[in-house]
Structure 1
Amino acid sequence: MNILYLHGLKSKLSPEKRQILEQYGKVYAPDIDYESAHIQPLEILQKFPETHFNVVIGSSMGALNAYIISENIGRPALLFNPPLVKYQPIEFKAKYVKGLAPKQILLGGRDEVVDPKETLEFLKQYLKRLELNIKVDSKLGHRIPMDIFETEVAEFFSNICY
C-alpha cells in the first residue's frame, strides 16, 4: 500500500508518526513549501509521477491538499484539522481515475488555527455526495498528540481495509 502523507505549514512528518504509518504501507512524505502557495496538489503529485497512491493523509495545510488530491484521484483520505474554507476546486487531467473517496476527518474543538465550525459549515454541502466520518474532539487543539494520531490511523485503515 502506498501512503501519501502531507505535513502542515512549518512542519514535517515526525519519525514517530512515520513509524506508525509504516505499519500500513510505504510512506511518501514530501517536504512542501507552503509559503509560496498553500494549495499545490498537482505540484505534490508531480514529485511522484510513477507512484499510484492508495490513501492520502494530511494535517492542517497538508490536509487541505490531501482533500483535493483525494477528490481527484478517488482515494480515501484521513484529514487532521483541514482548513477547507480555503478549498479551491481543481480538476486533474484524465490520468487519474476517480473512485470512491471516503474521508475520515478529525477536528480539534479548541483549535485556534483552523476553526472547526468553519470546516463543518464547509462540509455540510458535501454530506449527500461523500462518505464522511467526521469527529470533533472538544479537548483537542491544532496539534495532534501521538496517541490520538495512532488511534485515528488504526481506525482509518481498519475502515478502508475491512
Structure 2
Amino acid sequence: MKILYLHGLDSELIPEKREILEKYAAVLGPTLDYRQNCRIVDFLFNEYKMENIDLIMGSSMGGYAGYYLSFLMNKPGLFFNPALPYKNVLQFLPKINFSYNKFRKIVIGMQDDTIFAAHNIDFLQNTLPKDANAKIEIINKLQHRVPIDIFDYEIKLFFDDLKMYMD
C-alpha cells in the first residue's frame, strides 16, 4: 500500500507524522511549492499516475490539492483542515470527473483561525452530494496545525473507517 501525503503551504511533512503514516503504508511526501506552481493538481497527477498510489492525504493547502487529486485519480483520501473555500494562492484545476464512490474523510478544526471551519462546512455542504461516500469530522479543540496525538488518532480512525466504507 502507498500513501501520497501533501503538506500545507510553506510547510513539509515532519518526521513524526511520516513515522505514523509508515505504520500503515509506504509514504511519498514530496516537497511542494504551491506559490510557484499554479497547476499543482495537474502536476501531481502527471507525476504520480504511474506510482500505484492507494491513498491521498493532506493538510491545509495539501488538503486542497489532495482533495481534488483524489477525484482525478479516483482514490480514497483523508484531508485535515483543507483550504477548499480559499483562493489565497492562485491554482487552476484540471477538468475533473467528480465520482463520489471512493471514501473521503475531512477533518475540520473548530479553532482553526486560518481555514475557518464554517467556510469549509459551507463549501462541503454546497458541493458534496447527499450520497457521497464521505465522512466529515469536526474536532472542537483542533486548531490549524494538527498536533501529533490528534494526527495519530485520526490516521488510525481513517484506516478503521476505510475498512468499513470500502467499495
TM-score (norm 2): 0.86
Pick closer, same or farther for the CA change 1:70–1:85 going to 2, 3 Å. same
- Unaligned runs of 5+ residues in structure 1 are none
Match of 1:153 in 2: 155
One-letter code aligned to 2:73 = I
Cα pair 1:30 1:44 within 8 Å, conserved: no
Cα pair 2:63 2:82 within 8 Å, conserved: yes
Q: How many residue pairs end up in the alignment?
A: 158
| 1:1-162 alignment, distance < 5 Å | 1-37=1-37, 40-86=40-86, 90-91=94-95, 100-125=101-126, 126-162=128-164
Q: Partners in 2 of 1:10 and 1:65 — Cα distance?
A: 14
CA RMSD of aligned residues (A): 2.0
Cα distance, 1:129 vs. partner? 4.2
Cα distance, 1:23 vs. partner? 1.0
One-letter code aligned to 1:137 = I
Decide which moves more: 55-64 or 69-78. 69-78
Q: Partners in 2 of 1:38 and 1:46 — Cα distance?
A: 14
Query: What SS class does the counterpart of residue 137 from structure 2 fall into?
Result: strand
Cα distance, 1:100 vs. partner? 2.4
Q: Partners in 2 of 1:122 and 1:129 — Cα distance?
A: 16
Query: What SS class does the counterpart of residue 79 from structure 2 fall into?
Result: strand
Cα pair 2:5 2:58 within 8 Å, conserved: yes
Runs of 4+ in 1 over 4 A off after TM superposition: none
One-letter code aligned to 2:20 = I
One-letter code aligned to 2:132 = L
One-letter code aligned to 2:118 = K
Q: Partners in 1 of 2:10 and 2:34 — Cα distance?
A: 8
Per-residue CA distance 1:106-128 (angstroms, 9 max, x = gap): 11111111011011001112141
Decide which moves more: 17-26 or 43-52. 43-52
Per-residue CA distance 1:33-61 (angstroms, 9 max, x = gap): 01124651111232335202111000000
